[in-house]
Amino acid sequence: MSQKQHNSSDKDTRKENQEPEIKIENADVETDDVLDEGANEVCDTAVDDEESSEIETLKQLLQQRDEALEKEKKEYLFLMADFDNFKKRTLREKSEIIKNGAENVLKGILPILDDFERGIDAIKDDATATSVKEGMELIYNKFVKYLQQNGVKEIPTEGADFDVDLHEAIAMVPVDDESKKGKVIDTIAKGYTLNDKVIRHAKVAVGQ
């Protein structure tokens, strides 16, 4: 065998011995890559689970916050409605107090008005008391005007149908005329309303 052939044989032998080592090294690299990928997948899965858990926790917190806000909103609206009702009730009660106070004052004037009417009737035929009568009528008319300006009106009586809501029957008077039965025949004392509310019933005689 020549020297060249011998050298070539040695090289081939070395190549054969080296090739398995390369394959083993490549196999080790591939195994490491697989392990790295697996580890990365495990890490990614753990991160995803952690993020999902955090998101779920945030969702729960947001839901709790929304529920708390809704509850507070309902309580606020309830309190506002209650306060509004309180204001309306207070204004209504205040109005009633003022109205009732005015009613009591005006009712207190009515007997004075009655006295003026009786006084005027007493001197209407007295020729010597003309000036007195005129003075009393002047004051009486001012009283009537004042009452009218404050919502006081006289209840109609003469010839009106008897109405228990407006009239108080003091006497029943027999009548021959059928058309006068159930009608007011005479007025004993005038009645009055204040803003359409009866503050004094008219005392009347009714035909029967």
Give kind and range of the element (H or E) at residue 37: helix 3-123
Q: What is the pTM of this model?
A: 0.54
List phi, psi (to 5°) of 74. -65, -45
Catalogue all structural domains in the chain, each as residue range(s) with its CATH number.
153-208 (2.30.22.10)
Q: What is the pLDDT of residues 34-46, one digit of tens each?
A: 445 655 555 556 5
Is the backbone of residue 187 left (phi > 0), alpha (psi -120 to 50) or beta?
A: beta
CB 188 within 8 A of CB 205: yes
Low-confidence stretches of the chain (pLDDT < 70) are 1-48
pLDDT confidence of residue 140: 92
Q: What is the pLDDT of residues 122-149, one digit of tens each?
A: 988 888 888 898 999 999 999 899 999 9
